[in-house]
Structures are given as structure tokens and as C-alpha cells.
Amino acid sequence: MKIGVLAYPHYRTPPEKYGPIQTVVDELIKGLDKRGHNVTAFVTGDSDVSCSKIIVKDTPDIDDPTVPDVKIYEQVTIQELLKHRNEFDVLSSHISFHILPFLELLNYPVVVNLQGIYTNSHYKKVFYYYKNAYFVSISNKQREQLSDLNYIATIYHGLELSRFSFNLKPEDNLCFLGRTNPSKGMDVAIDVAKQINKKLIIGARQDQDDLSKKFYKEKIKPSLNDENIIWLGERDFDQKVKLLRHSKVLIFPINWEEAFGLVMIEAMACGTPVVAFNRGAVPEVIKDGATGFICPPGDIDCMVKAVKKIYEMPKEEYCKIRKNCRRHIEDNFTVEKMVDNYEKVYQKVIDDWRKRKK
């Protein structure tokens, strides 16, 4: 197949540091390329993808204060795409709803990959006009927010497991990976670490929106004076994997309906169990009691008890849970499985689109 891929243009593909969508898109591109498909990616100029690339913008900086609206990046991506409206068998779009008004201008079908959360009622006004387009969700939970769309499949993210080495003997610390946005619950991770008197190592991107800056200043920064709370800042890929594989537990205390949560499968690929609140796709990703523990939303006491339980496990039992984690990812969240599912979706959409055009 001749496949076009629209990557989320706020960061390079793959990202230098934070950028889960770009990480997944890069693995998808590499997987499709290895299988002999003719892939062209619409990416930033500093991207390093394995296929042909069309540059949509030289080097974006989502934190650039001179950019009046970061949605400009999606706009320039689509402007570039419209120059290539006849060139593909199918387009895989990973820029959410921004592609929708342009579907009828393209002479090929588009698979619209949903990447975010869409709980705000205003999203329905955008999506439902195009509800018969071809949608792929990244979790079943994500579908509940826009239940009437034409979903072709749910396709979970997949990892190239050779990049995540399994470790049976981690160090004694907890870890948190994410962003300083309040929705990620970094303050809860700090609270849990303090209550059980364990070291927490934080690898996180400092978001620059007003809400996140206020949250960091008031809820996070004062705790960094505690010798058990270690702030590393934003991590690149190798640093991230090193942190995950050497941690006893990953804390994932989200307080929003996370559409997937890539860091959970990255942790488990290294053997590290996850303790998380039951929000979003968490119960689709974690096997409660086998690869970690799932707590009721906002129940910090439950999270403290769950983490304590892991620390108090006999060595043999803890080794078993780490092996369970790796096996769970091997069975359900590999890049091979992800690419298999996208290939099936692309072919199905191409066939259906051609029938519609007859």
C-alpha cells in the first residue's frame, strides 16, 4: 500500500524527549516500512523517520512564546497535505479532529486516529458532522466520549520490545514519568512516597501553560526540598528506560480520563509494575493484581496500601509480578501486533472507500 502518515506536528518524530504520540507514530512508520509498504510521513524538518518525509515546518517549539496559538502547527500540516491530495491509497492521520473538514478534498480515504480525550460536549459539534468517517480509537474507554462515530477498530499502542530491556532486580525507589499538568497527579505520587518513606524519582516535562506553572509552583516545588523527592526533569528515551527498569514501582495517579497511557506499557515492558487510579484506559492496560494494582479514582489511601503491598512482597512473589509485566506486554502491546491491526484497518478502509465511490 501507498500510505501517507500525518504526525502530530508539535514535536519532532521521534521526539527528543516527551512526545508519546510521536513515539507511537514513529514505531508505526518503521513497522509499515519494514513490511514493504510505501510510506510518506508529514513531519517536522528535524524529524528522523525511516520513510520518505514531507516537511510541514522546520522545527516547531510548543513553548515558543512568540507563537500565538500552537494549533497553527496543525494548520500548516494540512496546508502541506493538500498539495498531495492524489498521491496515496490511504492516509493515517494522527492530528485528531483537525483533519475532518478537509476529508472531502482528498482523493483517498483517511483513517482518523483519535489521540486525546473528548469529554467536553463541544467536541460533539465537531465530530458528529463527520461521524461516518473512518475512526480508530486507542482504547475502548475512549469511545465512550464519542459513542456514535464510525469506529473501524480499537488499536492499542505497541512497543519495539528490543528497546526495553527486562530487569528482574530493580532499585528500591518509586518513579513518576509524565508532565506537570495537574491531570497527571504528580502531587499524589509525592504524597504516596512521603507516606511510605520511599524515594520517588520524577522524570517530567514542565508544561508552560498558566495552570501547570501554578500547580508546579504551589504543589510540586516545595516538596523538592525533601531528600526523598528527586527531580530529574524531562527525560530522553534512554534516560526514561533506565529510570523505568531500575524502579520498584511506577506511580500513575491520573485524575482525568486518559485515552491510553503509554508510560504504563513502557514500565511493564521493563518488568516494573504499575499502581494507578481507575481512570480512562487503565483497566484495559493493567491486569489488576498481576501486573500492578488499580485503585478507585482519587483514593490515595488505597494507592499507599497497594504500593506498600508491593514493597512487602516476598522476593519470589515480586519477581513473579515483574515477569508477569513483561509477558503481558509481549502478549498484548507489541509493535508487531499494532502494525498488524493497522494493516487490516487500512485495507478494510481502502476497500470500503472504493465501494462508496462506485
- Tell me the per-residue pLDDT of 192-220, one tens digit each, with 9 for 90 and over: 999 999 999 999 999 988 999 999 999 99
Q: Find the mean pLDDT for residues 272-288.
A: 98
pLDDT value at residue 14: 93
**pLDDT, averaged across the chain:** 94
- Give residue 183's pLDDT band: very low, low, confident or very high (50, 70, 90): very high
Mean pLDDT of 69-76: 79
Residue 62 has pLDDT above 70, yes or no: no
- Burial code (b: 16+ CB inside 10 Å, e: under 16) for 7-43 equals bbbbbbbbbeebbbbbbbbbbbbbbbbeeebebbbbb
Could you give the domains of the chain? 2-158+334-357 (3.40.50.2000), 161-332 (3.40.50.2000)
Collect all residues with Cβ–Cβ distance below 8 Å to 90 and sequence separation of at least 6. Answer: 1, 2, 3, 4, 108, 109, 110, 111, 346, 349, 350, 353
pTM, two decimal places? 0.94
Q: What is the mean pLDDT of residues 229-252?
A: 96
Q: Which of 125-129, 153-157, 250-254, 302-306 has the lowest mean pLDDT?
A: 125-129
d(Cα 192, Cα 213) in Å, to the nearest integer? 22
Three-class HEC string of 25-80 = HHHHHHHHHHCCCEEEEEEECCCCCCCEEEEEECCCCCCCCCCCCCCHHHHHHHHH
What average pLDDT score do residues 292-305 get? 98
Low-confidence winner among 2-6, 53-57, 178-182, 184-188 (lowest mean pLDDT): 53-57
pLDDT, residue 68, reads 62
Residue whose C-alpha cell is 504528580 = 186
Is 70 exceeded by the pLDDT of residue 88?
yes
For residue 215, what is the enclosing H or E element?
Answer: helix 210-215
CB atoms within 10 A of CB 66: 5
Instruction: Please determine, for residue 57, whether its predicted confidence score (pLDDT) is greater than 80.
Output: no
